Amino acid sequence: MTQKIGLFGYGVVARGFHHALNNNPHLNAMIKTICIKTANKTRSIDANLFTTDEKLILEDPEIDIVIELIDDAEVAYQLVKTALQKGKSVISANKKMIAEHINEVAEWHHQYEATFLYEGAVAGSIPILQNLNQFFGNQEISSVRGILNGSTNYILTEMRESNLSFDEALKLAQEKGFAESDPTLDISGLDAMYKLIILAYHAFGICITDHSQIRLESITNMEDQFYELATAQGLKIKSIATAYRKNGQIKLKVQPELVNSEDELFTVENENNAIVVDADLSGKQLYYGKGAGSLPTGAAVIHDLALLLDGFRYNKSKGGNKLKKSA
């Protein structure tokens, strides 16, 4: 029986997912309805698929799966929660929504029979959450460390390799679509922080809701001379997000760091992301790939769909009774 999908949003990521679904005919799923905010835009697919009425998805008994790919975190929260309550499985890529409601998300995993997956919310095309839940599920992880924001990484790459100022590199990132017209979320480190909160939950089973516990430093706090000094010494400045064990606690930080050529993140450039997981049995493993964009993030969403259809759900031992909650 073909599973019917209700899709919220038809922006960059949603179009990437739609493309991926069309190119994976073996998946036993089809889009029935797409809910969008603005009805009068010209779109390249069947206009009959679109609606502005969310109830046509949430209250449709034929729709088994809801895929939420909108920008508004609070609206996304209401849509996801309602869908799960109605027994519909959900896939999302909204890192802000998931991170800001991480305690509740943790409860959803064992409260509802319906599945909630969100690989696309962290590091684009890199299947890190699945690996944390499966491969690393029976290991003790000491740290998760990575470059989680492609916009910031692109800016730092251009400053170093093209000798651009911060403002010049930011403008170029905006022109290429790697940074938003309002880049605050990226350059402040908040985007990486949201992703790190999700990673910490899946790696350590801990929910961080008090953001003051996280050390957060923007790349804009760096003086130009620091970049020049780093280059002269053969070092690179990278904005790195880290969750690690220290004295029996889990610490989180997002900050610019000096890295040398022996560091696993040294060669990660432009809009790419990378994550290093250090565990007791396997040691360090590096995951590298496109961190954003229509097709890379669409690939994560389509992978979540394939996992969902196969019956996969996140490991309750990480997000269930053993969960340690942080106020």
List, in order of start, the domains of the chain with CATH numbers: 3-129+294-326 (3.40.50.720), 131-290 (3.30.360.10)
SS3 assignment, position 10 = coil
Please tell me the distance from the alpha carbon of residue 97 to that of residue 14, in angstroms, as a whole number: 17
Asked if 303 and 16 touch (Cβ cutoff 8 Å), the reply is: no
pTM: 0.94
The answer to whether 141 and 281 are in contact (CB under 8 A) is: no
Query: Token digits for 135?
Result: 């491969």
pLDDT at position 323, please?
36
Rounded to 10 degrees, what is the CA torsion of 194, 195, 201, 203?
-150
CA 43, CA 46: separation in Å to the nearest integer? 8
Tens-digit pLDDT profile for residues 242-263: 999 999 999 999 999 999 999 9
pLDDT of 80 reads 98
| Residue bearing tokens 């769909």 | 305
Predicted pLDDT of residue 316: 58
**Which of the residues are catalytic?**
195
Q: Would you give per-residue pLDDT tens digits along the chain (327 residues)?
A: 899 999 999 999 999 999 999 999 999 999 999 999 988 888 889 889 999 999 999 999 999 999 999 999 999 999 999 999 999 999 999 999 999 999 999 999 999 999 999 999 999 999 999 999 999 999 999 999 999 999 999 999 999 999 998 999 999 999 988 888 889 999 999 999 999 999 999 999 999 999 999 999 999 887 777 888 898 999 999 999 999 999 999 999 999 999 999 999 999 999 999 999 999 999 999 999 998 888 999 999 999 999 999 999 997 555 432 333 333
Coil vs helix vs strand at 177: coil
Alpha carbon distance 106, 91 (integer Å): 15
Q: How far apart are CA 145 and CA 275, in angstroms?
A: 6
d(CA 202, CA 186): 22
Q: How many CB atoms lie within 10 A of CB 12?
A: 16
pLDDT score, position 240: 98
Q: Please, what is the end-to-end C-alpha distance for the chain in angstroms?
A: 44
